[in-house]
Structure 1
Amino acid sequence: MSWPIAYDCMRGAMMAQCLWLLQHVQMSRVYHYIRGQSMIKLYVLIGMVEIFDKLMCSFGQDALDSLYWSTMRSKKRLTLLNFVIVCIQSTLHSLLLFVHITTLTVAVNSSDQALLTLLISNNFAEIKSAVFKKFDKQNLFQLSCHDIVERFKLILFLGMIMLLNIAHGGDDHLLAQFLNIFFLVFGGEVLADWIKHAFITKFNMLQPSLYEEYSMILARDITSCRKDDDNILDHTHLVARRLAFATLPLNCVMIRFLQIAAPRLRSYLPAVSPARLATIAALFYLIALAAKLLTGMLLMAHSYTLQCDASGGGGGGGARASPLPRSPAPGGHKSRKELSLEKLSTIARFTLWRGRIV
């Protein structure tokens, strides 16, 4: 077996192992246990879960990289050790995210909405802790990476909570109430991010054009897989690594919540034969696969467009410009923007820069 196939098989085994352990976690028991706690305890629990989530994201990415390189170099003992470490880390991270989503479910479904108010106010506490600190463009890039992942997780978590509420027989009134909560929580997150970034750039005299450079770094990460013949991973690997985006635990938790909601959702459907149900499931899988491929192609095309525009080849009907940055002429010098992009390319979400990590 070649090492690329072995690496993919190990990742599949990790996912199967995490799903098997999550099968033994009863959400109803966890939900009612968390619901019986006081509001202050729940607020502290959410804060602790968010902190450990960041630590798990940082450690998990390093563990996956170690497994990748030990597999490529055919070091069997080291590969086995790294595989065990990644399995333990992925399981703990999946359980952590499971508790996080369950706690948010309690907050959303609480009658007094007091905990939900505290969650929204936590966004503005984040503003206070960020705007009065010194930032340079590297630290601001780290903060931007953090906000990208945080928004995506919030949308995913709220979407799974809405799915569970629908599966448990929520009527139209409760669904409308949840949609109001969804837009309130996500709107508060977006508004807090806007205020935070606006005043950080103002107080530190940073140009808004820096965000174009940040987009360029992520675009290069997406397109770089086409230039590396030895790269076996897809075009999202480098972006996920830079953003510290843990895909494996999120996939496991999402599949587990779909398993919880599926039997109840099926009860609302008219009686269908198992063959027709299997056909519907296969069609749903094909649609999801097509959506994934289409999204990947759109991301790749958008990334190439960004780099073509940056290299001066965005318009006209002449020869197509290369999306890669132009190499300086012999004896020439790189532009200030190229030097800035080279320095930014060394920064990831949890890179220690000037003694701190944002």
Structure 2
Amino acid sequence: MCIFGWLLRIRKWTTADTCDFLKAAVVVVASFLMQIVDTSVIYHQVRGQGVIKLYIFYNMLEVADKLFSSFGQDTLDVLFWTATERVSNPFRTLMHFVAAVAYALLHTLLVLLQATTLNVAFNSHNQALLAIMMSNNFVELKGSVFKKFAKPNLFQMSCSDVRERFHIMVLLSVVVVRNMMAVSWKIDHLIEMLPDLMMVVIAELMVDWLKHAFITKFNEIPAEVYRDFKITIAYDVVQSRDEDAFSDYSDQVSRRMGFIPIPLTIMLIRVLTQSLTLTTKPALLLFGMAWFLLLTVKILNGIVMLGKACEYVIAYRNLQAKAEYEIYRKRLLMKKSKSVPSSPRMSLIDFSDVLHQTAATKGGFTVSDLMSHWDELCRSAELAPVPETTTPRRTQSLASFSRQRRDNSLPPPAIPECEEREEMQEVNDATKATPKRRQRPNECDESLSGVQAYTMLNNAPESVGEIQS
């Protein structure tokens, strides 16, 4: 659409259009090269392995998928940055494009091996293989529950879990398509597969629920922290819809999730082109209707997500305005710290992306901190108003000091050097003009008149009687 709009001079060509064009080119070139790969040979090679080998191989593929996602995000970022520079180098852009295509091929092969291994587990006569593979999810509890988690780390894990659920759903859809094609699309075979499909999905959900429940329990994290995560993602959705955005609106959210859709797209294209035969007109018509339906769902999903994101952002700003009242800010800061240098504003939990975490602590309180004490703050606002404090001494006006009597224990105020010189000169002139007076020494009575013991002796009686025994 952006190409047609640019050719017809309807809209300008932006950096986001360049990124979209490069992503489409990577998908097309990698999909064409993936046609060389024979998935049937891969399936029989994987099926000939033992149960333990497949279990270890599946775990290795999961770890490699996360590593490839981190590497692939950097590769695509370099390609987009090089192509959108003001002074771009065509040779560098071409080399980065080749590197991106090579990454897409390798990651697609890895995902295809994951789908093939899962397909072998579904088709094996021994259901122990599928049970062992699904029990691998419970190993995550041992590696996550007993570790110390902060809120940004919990956000990172939540985004990774969302991405993992979507990844498993795509793999299960590939397994269903391959098995349905083998039995000529019989519904009875799909009904037989439903229990195994439900077991995989339920096991993933149970592990995630238990993991998050015990992590929040052991680290004393309130459940309201997930509202912070939701608001952060809502901000990503709203900001990515800006007209001056660098790339497509889905890139910022997918980067937050650590999700790269290009390998999954290439894998689906390879599987569908091998599983579906589009030689007849009804098949082409059905494929066109399915594509139009998916496009409509995507557009409607984007509209609904943008509307919900705007609602969350507006609600967050209204809550932020309420929290800025003096009573709420004082009460909450007293609960969090005894001495806070400034009154912070509400902040969001954020990090660079899910795979490149940088530990950065922001000052301020979040929605979860506010909601955990909201009822108590409302009651304190109604029953115990904040008393008015007197103005500190350091904030009094300097004009009021002139009316007060100076403390004799303090030294006299300093006199500027220029004024001191003028006064000394005037004193010297005055002493020269007038003769010196002869000073008389003070009498003893005058010097001791202020002594209390001396006055008491003067007032004593002249005769004192003797004490008779």
Matched, 1:145 2:151: no
Q: Please say which structure displays the higher CA radius of gyration.
A: 2
1:233-284 residue CA offsets vs partner (Å, 9 max, x unmatched)? 3321101111110111111101111112213xx7xxxxx953x544433332
Deviations 1:120-141 (A, max 9, x none): 2111111111101111111111
What residue number does 1:58 align with?
70
Q: Counterparts of 1:347 and 1:208 in 2: how far apart (Å)?
A: 23
Rounded to whole Å, the distance in 2 between the matches of 1:288 and 1:29 is 31
Provide the C-alpha distance between the structure 2 equivalents of 1:284 and 1:94, rounded to a whole number of angstroms: 24
2:318: which partner in 1?
Answer: 312
Question: In 2, are the aligned partners of 1:138 and 1:347 still within 8 Å (CA)?
Answer: no
**2:416 aligned residue:** none
> How far apart are the structure 1 equivalents of 2:190 and 2:129?
19
Change in Cα spacing, 1:173 to 1:282, as seen in structure 2 (3 Å) is closer
Please state how far the C-alpha of 1:304 moved relative to its aligned partner. 0.9
CA distance in 2, matches of 1:111, 1:280: 34
- 1:296 to partner: Cα distance: 0.7
Gaps of 5+ in 1: 267-271, 314-331
Structure 1 residues 171 and 278, CA gap change in structure 2 (3 angstroms): closer
**Aligned-partner Cα distance in 2 for 1:172–1:11:** 37
Note the C-alpha offset of 1:180: 0.6
Report Cα offsets for 1:24-48 as digits up to 9, x if no partner.
1111111111000011111111111
Identity of aligned residues (%): 33
Are 1:351 and 2:356 matched, yes or no?
Answer: yes
> For 2:355 and 2:239, how far apart are their aligned partners in 1?
21
The counterpart of 1:11, out of the listed 18, 23, 28, is 23
Offset at residue 6 of structure 1 (A): 4.2
Q: Cα 1:277–1:225, aligned 2, differ >3 Å: closer, same or farther? A: same
Letter in 2 for 1:17: V
Q: Which has the higher contact order (CA 8 A, sep 6+)?
A: 1
Superposed, which structure 2 residues align to 1:79-228 within 5 Å?
79-169=93-183, 171-227=186-242
Mapped contact 2:152–2:351 kept (Cα < 8 A): no
Deviations for 1:138-157, whole angstroms, at most 9, x for unmatched residues?
11111101100000111111
Aligned residue in 2 for 1:75 = 88
Matched, 1:301 2:314: no
**2:250 is aligned with 1:236:** yes
Cα 1:277–1:72 shift into 2, 3 Å? same
Hey, what's the Cα distance between the residues in 1 that align with 2:352 and 2:152? 7
Q: Any idea what the Cα deviations from partners look like across 1:52-108, whole Å, max 9, x if unmatched?
A: 110111111111111111111142233222212111111100111111101110011
What SS does the aligned partner of 1:37 have? coil
Normalising by structure 2, what TM-score?
0.65
Q: Distance in 1 between matches of 2:311 and 2:117?
A: 41
RMSD: 2.2
Instruction: Confirm or deny: 8 A CA contact 2:351 2:357 kept in the other structure.
Output: no
Structure 2 residue matching 1:351: 3-state secondary structure = coil
Higher mean alpha-carbon deviation, 150-159 vs 2-11, is at 2-11
- Cα pair 1:219 1:307 within 8 Å, conserved: yes
2:129, 2:280 → 1: CA distance? Answer: 44
The residue type paired with residue 303 of structure 1 is: A
Q: Could you give the per-residue CA deviations for residues 264-313 of structure 1, whole angstroms, max 9, x where no partner exists?
A: xx7xxxxx953x54443333222221111011111111111111222228
More helix by percentage? 1
AA aligned to 2:180 is I
Q: Distance in 2 between matches of 1:273 and 1:163?
A: 20
Encode CA deviations 1:318-338: one digit per residue, 9 max, x unaligned: xxxxxxxxxxxxxx9542x32
Q: Which stretch shifts more, 144-153 or 302-311? A: 302-311
Which residue, out of 31, 43, 53, partners 2:55?
Answer: 43
CA contact (8 A) 2:180 2:189 kept: no
1:91, 1:249 within 8 Å by CA — same for their partners in 2? yes
CA distance in structure 2 between the partners assigned to 1:17 and 1:334 by the alignment: 51
Alpha-carbon deviation of 1:119?
1.4
Q: Is the 8 A contact 2:18 2:84 kept in 1?
A: no
CA contact (8 A) 1:56 1:93 kept: yes
- Name the CA shift for 1:40/1:211 in 2 (closer, same or farther; >3 Å): same
Distance 1:280 1:232, change over 3 A: farther
CA distance in 1, matches of 2:138, 2:208: 9
